[in-house]
Amino acid sequence: MTQSAFSRADGALQVEGVSAASLADQFGTPLYVYSRSALTDAYKAYADACSGRRATIHVAVKANSNLAVLNVFARLGAGFDIVSSGELARVLAAGGKAENTVFSGVGKTAAEMREALDAGVKCFNVESIPELHALNEVARAAGKQAPVSLRVNPDVDAKTHPYISTGLKSNKFGVAFADARATYAQAAAMSNLDVIGIDCHIGSQITEVSPYLDAVDKLLDLVEQIEADGTNIHHVDVGGGLGITYDDETPPAIGEFVRAVLAHIDERGHGHREVYFEPGRSLVGNAGVLLTRVEYLKPGEEKNFAIVDAGMNDLARPAMYQAFHRMEAVEKRATKAQLYDVVGPVCESGDWLGKDRELAIEQGDLIAIFSAGAYGFVMSSNYNTRPRAAEVMVDRERARRVREREEVKQLFAGESIFPD
């Protein structure tokens, strides 16, 4: 938890200078709340560590794509990392620049490639030989050169959850390390591709520096081979994935991580190259909370259940990854604390947000679910025809709704009944 952004006054949770309970009263629940100061502080930690170096920060839009969140980073001078043309549209709408945007993703369509080329993105991170051919053809038809970096799979174990590990041989992402040198030779021979970099992304919620350094070593070995073959590599993209503290994890501080990677690249004699970082979770994760209200307290023979108005459709991570999010009552009560499984109203046994949580709560109370700024709202759905939550940003003592709560009628506005 970012102490400067989330604190308590007289026992009640505050978001910057605003009462969390007042936000729930004003905007309703479930409610995502983001702290602008927490977003800014996290970005500045990256920027300060990159100062004086040819190193750039590209915010991973998939972690949190709200326009207000992206605009905070755009105003700070960030670049962006996208995985769809929809995310490109969001970046541009939020004030970001295409020329500072890297287009990643394993399944880009020809239409998305054309949109990104027309917009003038900084680089395409290409993940397969068929994608190289497709991009070359799209660029040829457009009469343009597509700037290209290959995402190489270094087969490094990031020591994280298998669903968010992306750098092993068994993962779908990237070009196999053993094939990378030959693939670069093919890319360099294509008439409408301009090979400018190398890229990797080994996973997410990584809490050690050593896997990054192992991946960097393999990338730089490959760079030396590629340049010996006659293709110059201008930048090295080390991806994102730095973890945050959800419970008792102890990831390195942002500045410590960045400086360690840059120092390692220097030690290998590659300090003249530009370095890209693509952070997501470490920028936005602990800048957001999800507020939810207790609908019912249901005692059981083996479990006590706190049934809340947020469900797995609002926060998918616990059901999807068995992820832990710290929870606290928004307002402290004298009520005796009990162990509860905090569950939602969705008609699935997997609809839980936290298990065996010690909470002093009563029906109608508010619970804050922390570390919800990353992969929270962006992964939410309308399952059970549930409107998605509103989003609010707090800046000191000001709170502004930055996404309206959906209404049920919006959910089927594009549907029609088949005529007799």
Annotated binding-site positions for pyridoxal 5'-phosphate: 241, 278-281, 375
How do strand 146-153 and strand 193-199 relate by DSSP bridges? Answer: parallel
Of 50, 123, 200, 347, catalytic: 347
Instruction: Mark the binding-site residues, compressed into ranges.
Output: 241, 278-281, 317, 321, 348, 375
Q: Within 10 A of 398 (CB to CB), how many other CB atoms are there?
A: 11
Residue 405 vs residues 50, 219, 399: alpha-carbon distances, Å: 38, 45, 15
**DSSP readout, 332-363?**
--SSPPEEEEEE-SSSSTT-EEEEEEEE---T
Residue 30 vs residues 14, 236, 311, 385: alpha-carbon distances, Å: 17, 41, 9, 15
Kindly tell me the burial class for residue 368, based on how many C-beta atoms sit within 10 Å of its own C-beta (0-12, 13-18, 19 or more): buried
Cα dihedral sign, 94-205-224-133: negative
Instruction: Mark the binding-site residues for substrate, compressed into ranges.
Output: 281, 317, 321, 348, 375
How do strand 366-369 and strand 327-329 relate by DSSP bridges? Answer: antiparallel
Is position 347 annotated as part of the catalytic site? yes
Contacts of 373 (CB under 8 A, 6+ apart): 32, 34, 38, 64, 284, 285, 286, 287, 288, 289
Across 200-267, the runs of DSSP E, i.e. the strands, are: 235-237
Active-site annotation, residues: 347
